[in-house]
């Protein structure tokens, strides 16, 4: 149980284009989902927290107009990187909280974004 999927697992795009990443909780309902970014050999950096049906809460320094987050249902959250640039290249990981299990976050497999 507590499986989270992400799609795509890997994406390469040209500078200036937008990329959408999907995060799904497959066997539970996630009222809260989190989006992280991870640079090589570094720990996770929280970008934003999203609650189903409401606007996401972004961490300081994260541009909400650049990283659009939508949590339209209890099993799906999306992160859209708008007008991507090479500095946006990173490993993006989502997690979801199953409120029936406690406070644990369960993570997706991650999405490797490369912007040329």
Contact residues toward other proteins (CB under 8 A) are 2, 4, 6, 32, 34, 42-44, 46, 49, 57, 91, 93, 95, 97, 102-110, 112
Considering beta carbons, is residue 4 or 84 the nearer one to other proteins? 4
Enter the tokens of residue 28. Answer: 């539970």
Give me the least distance between CB of 16 and other proteins, in Å please: 26
Residues 6+ apart with CB under 8 A from 55: none
Considering beta carbons, is residue 89 or 105 the nearer one to other proteins? 105
Give me the least distance between CB of 68 and other proteins, in Å please: 20
Considering beta carbons, is residue 68 or 107 the nearer one to other proteins? 107
Q: Check if the beta carbon of residue 47 is closer than 8 Å to that of residue 58.
A: yes
Cα distances from 30 to residues 51, 71, 80, 88, 96, in angstroms, run 8, 10, 19, 27, 6
């Amino acid at each position: 149980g507590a499986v989270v999927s992400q799609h795509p697992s890997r994406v390469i795009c040209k500078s200036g284009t937008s990329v959408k990443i999907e995060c799904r909780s497959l066997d539970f309902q996630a009222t809260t989902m989190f989006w992280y970014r991870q640079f090589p050999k570094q720990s996770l950096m929280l970008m934003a927290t999203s609650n189903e049906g409401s606007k996401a809460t972004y961490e300081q320094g994260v541009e909400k107009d650049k990283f659009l987050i939508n949590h339209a249902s209890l099993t799906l959250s999306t992160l859209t990187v708008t007008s991507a640039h090479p500095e946006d290249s990173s490993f993006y990981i989502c997690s979801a909280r199953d409120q029936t299990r406690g406070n644990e976050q369960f993570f997706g497999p991650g999405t490797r974004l490369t912007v040329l």
